[in-house]
Structure 1
Amino acid sequence: MSAKRKSARLALAFLAFVVGLPALADVEVHVVSVGQGRQTDDFYALPEINLLVDRPGSDVALVLIDGGQAHWRIEGAEGTHITEVVRDGPDDAPARVTLSGIPMQIEEGPDLPLVFGPVGADFRAMLDTVGDRFGIDRIASFTALHKAGRAALRVDRVDRATPGLSRDYLADHLADPRDLPPELRGWIETPGETGGPDVRFDETGVTLSDPSGLRFLPITGDVPAILLPAASVYDPSSHTVFAVSYGGPGYLYAVDALTGAWRVIAELNDYDASALLFDPATGQVILTGAFSRPGDIRAFTQDGAMTSTFVPTIGFPGLTDLFDYGNEHGPPLVPHLLRDGWLLVSASGPSGPAYPDAGAFRLYAVALRSGEVKLLAYEND
């Protein structure tokens, strides 16, 4: 959608509605988003989007978002006071807004994305822009439709049930970390990281860089070839590099850094991993899922025995805020620490650095046995 947008304000004929209005915070702000209007029998006319506002006794501001070439036909029920209408769409596409059949003046307006659900980074961006524009922390309702029909869309209630309509809805999802293991609480207060030797994993093998120097550990013919390297980590206590690949069945490898011997811990049976963590206390290798399944978490023992936990993306509060949910894959969950069955993971915005330096991030604790998720910290750009 073009960066230039249009907004519509009430024409002079409707200034009577504006006189004596309460503060903006007392006005209900309703957002309606429609991708395409309905083409009438008059092919020279703009496709129509019919909207009925039925909020008797309320002062209503409307934010209308469309895909362009639209005629918004707004009607207000008796007793409804429509104080302001903002229309947003591509500036190179013709559009009209009428209220009870009377045209409204179109002026430059904000830049809002066309969104169809109260989730995803675009929705959060829209909500912040609308919130700043009207000085509010929550919109009254959100209505969306890909293509308008003959029947009018209705704005007739205030939605108090959908948490995501609030700008800082995640504040209500923060969990108390006091029932988590002490080591996890300590890590949260002072984020640590694995650090240590640098490990590079590619189709030819593993390159390990530590204080003793640079070592290349080429893959041997004893194990399946590496198709697509995903992640690797070095455990100095056992002098072992753990590495995971995807593509084909995918494999979890262990490489002896002293002898250069390779072995397969497990074939992954088409599971795609994005990151891994080795836990010296239990001897387990923890993998988190890639692409559309970041919450597909699998734990392997050294002999290849596996336990798994699956949490859908929407089961992580606020994770969908970091990407265009429904249209692209989200950021991976990076595992940091495992203690007493609780796994600490983070997700960061795709355009910035990793947690804890990320401008936008989410930090979670996941109970591997039950799948319970606790949101421990978050930040937005």
Structure 2
Amino acid sequence: MSYPKIALASLIALGGINTAMAQGQVQFGTPVRANNAQSNHQLPLQISQPPAGLANGAEVVLISGYEPANASQSGGMIIVNVNRPGSKVLLVLSSYEKIQWNVIASPGTNIVGIIVGGHDKPTVTTTIKTQAWLADLPYAYETENRNFKTLLTTLNTRMGVKKIDVFRGSYAIPAALSINSMDPPRAALTTADPAPQKPVTDVGFSLLATDGSKVRWTLSGPAGHADKTYPEGKLTAPEAGRPLYRLSSDQLEVADSAGGSATAITLPPNFPRFSWAMDLAYDDKRNIISVISLGGEGFLYRFDAKARRWLDFRSLNNIDLFSLAYDRKMDRYVAWTDQGSLLFISGDGNAQGSKEIASRLEGFGRLYDRGNERMPRLTLAPNGDDIALLYLQGGSVKRIWHYNVKTDKVLLTYTAG
């Protein structure tokens, strides 16, 4: 039998498609049907302020996360089953992605209200008699996050909530959650900041103020001149206090005073230019200034302050350093990395090792939104095995932690009032 040329080409093409499909099969997801019945039980979301006493005598249940875990199977519906007979419950629900919250309550459980928030407007469906309010709430799936503190502060300001009784947080919120009991009480579920502890030894150190003066501090706070302001790096001086060396517009400068005129120190032709110069430190033993930069792969530069000449530079091999300090007692530098580690560097500029400690700094996680922001910079004041880690904001010292290299222990020792 003969076929027209066009028909024959079509058969060959179809045969090729079938062969390709057989070799690499593809499959779509199961269809998700429209749930029109649920819309009959959808609660109107009020934009007015919830009653100030709404949380009085109620257990506060917080469920929060970035997105629903089952969006491809159920279109983003999450079932919340609250089984707290004899209790009043305030339900707080927040997410980033759109979620259809379906709330169920057991007999005798009194849902006094539902506060819901999300970047994409959520919906709430339920057959129980209650009210719901739409609020500007961030999502927070971990307690050690600034968003969690912001969320608690918002609830406290609006309704006097001081603690969360039940917290279910996860990046992808499960398709169904059952609330049957309260969580054990813990400080992380309250609005209170962690309390500082008294150090075993109140180690002293000096901080270089913005005006170029050196101020004595201890792990417990300032020893004097509490009204001073402090730069977040980029300023250093020898033990004698003068001259001052600073980083300005990605350039190293030297000046006799903080407000005085400065002289730029030009880099040699074969040195990479400063790009995101982050900090500098003065080695009093060798009279050497070391500068760290962030741009590109990152570099460590060394300048001989006595001979007034550049010595060398070396690549940091993409290790991002935010701050740098020299420890005269151990003759080494200590740096703070973008991964929350202390990096130890020998006096001549060689990497010695690192230690991750950010995860053990009490209250540190609530200073930023982990996953969406860079880890905060910490100023370091090393003194042998004792290292003070300071969080500065607006020129003021807000937190001090103490890390002991020998014991490998970390302690929060100071918080600003």
The two structures have a TM-score, normalised by structure 1, of 0.74
Which residue identity lines up with residue 183 of structure 2 in the other structure? D
Provide the residue aligned with 1:119 in structure 2: 144
**Do residues 273 (structure 1) and 321 (structure 2) align?**
yes
Provide the residue aligned with 1:286 in structure 2: 334
Match of residue 225, structure 1, among 268, 272, 283? 272
Provide the residue aligned with 1:296 in structure 2: 342
Q: Counterparts of 2:73 and 2:355 in 1: how far apart (Å)?
A: 51
Provide the residue aligned with 1:338 in structure 2: 382
Match of residue 396, structure 2, among 335, 349, 355? 355
Provide the residue aligned with 2:247 in structure 1: 200
Specify the SS of the correspondent of 2:221.
Answer: helix
Match of residue 96, structure 1, among 124, 127, 136? 124
| Structure with larger Rg | 2
Which residue identity lines up with residue 125 of structure 1 in the other structure? T
**Do residues 81 (structure 1) and 110 (structure 2) align?**
yes
Using a 3 Å threshold, how does the CA distance of structure 1 residues 201 and 284 change in structure 2: closer, same or farther? farther
**Do residues 130 (structure 1) and 155 (structure 2) align?**
yes
Cα deviations by residue, 1:198-225 (Å, 9 ceiling, x for unpaired): 412666x62211259633322235x743
Calculate the aligned-residue CA RMSD, in Å: 3.8
The two structures have a TM-score, normalised by structure 2, of 0.69
Preserved CA contact (<8 Å) 1:7 1:86: no
Task: Give the C-alpha shift of residue 41 in structure 1.
Answer: 9.5
Task: Give the C-alpha shift of residue 71 in structure 1.
Answer: 3.8
Preserved CA contact (<8 Å) 1:118 1:142: no
Preserved CA contact (<8 Å) 2:68 2:174: no
Preserved CA contact (<8 Å) 1:363 1:377: yes
Match of residue 177, structure 1, among 199, 208, 221? 199
Preserved CA contact (<8 Å) 1:239 1:257: yes
Number of corresponding residues: 342
**Do residues 240 (structure 1) and 288 (structure 2) align?**
yes
**Greater mean deviation of Cα atoms: 28-37 or 111-120:** 28-37
Specify the SS of the correspondent of 1:270.
Answer: coil
Using a 3 Å threshold, how does the CA distance of structure 1 residues 254 and 93 change in structure 2: closer, same or farther? closer
Q: Counterparts of 2:95 and 2:315 in 1: how far apart (Å)?
A: 49
Preserved CA contact (<8 Å) 2:278 2:292: yes
Task: Give the C-alpha shift of residue 168 in structure 1.
Answer: 1.1
Task: Give the C-alpha shift of residue 252 in structure 1.
Answer: 2.9
Stretches of structure 2 lacking an aligned partner (at least 5 in a row):
1-43, 206-216, 231-235
Cα deviations by residue, 1:80-131 (Å, 9 ceiling, x for unpaired): 23222223346x846233244x5x5555x53211222223111110011123
Preserved CA contact (<8 Å) 1:318 1:362: no
Provide the residue aligned with 2:60 in structure 1: 29
Match of residue 84, structure 2, among 43, 55, 68? 55
Using a 3 Å threshold, how does the CA distance of structure 1 residues 162 and 256 change in structure 2: closer, same or farther? same
Preserved CA contact (<8 Å) 1:37 1:48: no
Task: Give the C-alpha shift of residue 253 in structure 1.
Answer: 2.8
Q: Counterparts of 2:245 and 2:220 in 1: how far apart (Å)?
A: 22
Percent identical pairs in the alignment equals 20
Preserved CA contact (<8 Å) 1:342 1:365: yes
Provide the residue aligned with 2:29 in structure 1: none
Specify the SS of the correspondent of 1:363.
Answer: strand
Stretches of structure 1 lacking an aligned partner (at least 5 in a row):
10-17
